[in-house]
Amino acid sequence: MKLRATPCKPTALVHEAWLRLAGPNEQAWQNRAHFFGAAAEAMRRILVEHARKKQALKRGAGVAHEELDESAIVIHAPPDELLAVNEALDTLAAEILRPQSW
């Protein structure tokens, strides 16, 4: 769903909430508290949607993803160094996972 306006502005937020509340389905509000509760929920959802959309744009939403071809990866380190690093990481992981007796 496309946001109709920037919800950072209070008036735009209230208008968007009203459009959602008064939408195609007719609501029967029990009282003022029921209406204001529904309005608050609608505004909260609008703000959350806006924040999620903004967060997604920061993280590259809409950018075409490219597959990684592992055969194209070139490693310039000698195999014995890679094996030594792997062994050191395994040792470190075992040390971290071992219960400490303080």
Spell out the residues 6+ positions from residue 102 whose beta carbon is closer than 8 angstroms to its own.
none
Q: Token pair for residue 15?
A: 């208008």
pLDDT of residue 79: 86
Local confidence band at 102 (pLDDT 50, 70, 90 cut-offs): low
Rounded to 5°, the CA angle 16-19-25 comes to 145
CA neighbor of 15 nearest in space, from 4, 29, 28? 4
CA neighbor of 13 nearest in space, from 56, 52, 51, 42? 42
Alpha helices (H) in 2-78, listed in sequence order:
10-21, 32-58
pLDDT tens digits along 9-54: 889 999 999 999 988 887 888 999 999 999 999 999 999 988 888 8
Average model confidence (pLDDT) across the chain: 83
pTM metric for this prediction: 0.53
Q: Indicate if the pLDDT at residue 5 is higher than 60.
A: no
Q: Token pair for residue 62?
A: 């809409």
